[in-house]
Homo-oligomer: A and B are copies of this chain.
Amino acid sequence: MPAMRAATVRDGEILIEDHPDPEPGASELLVRVHAAGVNGADIHQRAGRYPAPPGSPQDIPGLELAGEVAALGPGASRFSVGDRVMAVVGGGGQAELAVVHERAAMPVPVALDWPQAGGFPEVFTTAHDALFTQGRLSPGERLLVHGGAGGVGTAAIQLGRAAGASVAATVRNEELRPAVGELGAEAVEPEGFERYGPFDVVLELVGAPNLPANVGALATGGRIVIIGIGAGAKGEVHLGALMGVRGTVRGAMLRPRPLEEKALAMRLVEKEVLPLVERGEVTVPVAETFPLDRAAEAYDRFAAGGKLGKIVLLP
């Protein structure tokens, strides 16, 4: 049986191991992966805290990838062999070959090179879903992004600006604030962010410690969308304050959703984000790339934080 190399989670570490080549099932694509982004979920999975959803490879991490279509499963018709595609997957992206459902794949815009395309699908789909589908961000509104320098943060800032919102973003690493500012946000220190409010939408990528002040900084009718809790999962809400502004706290996650919901989210990205990418109005900041063999090092780099944009593996 032919074998491919893949990042592999084993006992809290990331190794590179041989795995059988995956085979595309009905409506699936076999993709020769050229680039695969590293995300917070991978770090949790390495630590054994975040198993892959059923139906996804259990020991190969990676939620997003870009590459060329190498083969079509039965009935697959959206793409042809050789097409450049990028996709969100439930796992298995950080490998030489990956299988993706054709409806979870998008064409790669000409404007993106492989590292950018490999770091695009998860963070832009997550950011678009959080801001617009979950948060109902509208033109003229005020958006706060907590953790503005990371992959989802840099995506959200640009999408918020492109949609006509004014954007503030907290960035812990002072040296990154000018670069985040160039993406279209007022980049501020995390401490005392409330004074830049009130905000109509707060995108929480850091965690529960921000929750009380997020509620205090909400405008009437404001929405807090929680998609990252690395700094803590349990937070206190002053319900009287939430009632007073008729505010909302919503949690969202892309990974456990069924295919139809993920596919719908990706169709919205194709329609509403890819044109912005083609016009150069939205970019994919890549902080650093690593060959697949150095995946463990890439994970450590991701976990250390303080970077602008994506860490991407190149199988």
Contacts and interface: CB of A to CB of B under 8 A. Distances in A.
Interface residues of A, number: 29
Interface string A64-90: 000000000000000000000000000
A239 interface: yes
B237 A235 contact: yes
For the complex of A and B, list the 6 residue pairs with the smallest distance between their C-beta atoms, beginning with the closest. A242-B251, A243-B251, A233-B240, A249-B249, A248-B250, A243-B253
Interface in A257-297: 257
B233 A239 contact: yes
A249 B246 contact: no
Contacts of A247: 250-251
Given A243-B253, A244-B256, A246-B251, 13 more contacts: A208-B237, A211-B237, A211-B239, A226-B239, A227-B243, A233-B238, A234-B237, A235-B239, A237-B237, A243-B251, A243-B252, A248-B251, A249-B250
B244 A253 contact: yes
5 contacts: A208-B239, A242-B251, A244-B253, A247-B250, A248-B248
Contacts of A253: 243-244, 246
A164 to B, nearest CB: 24
Contacts of A226: 239, 242-243
Main secondary structure of the interface of A (DSSP, over half): mixed
A253 B243 CA distance: 6
Nearest to A247: B251
B238 A236 contact: no
Interface of A: 207-208, 211, 226-227, 229, 233-253, 256-257
A244 B251 contact: yes
Contacts of A234: 236-239
Nearest to A232: B239
A242 B234 CA distance: 10
Contacts of A236: 234-237
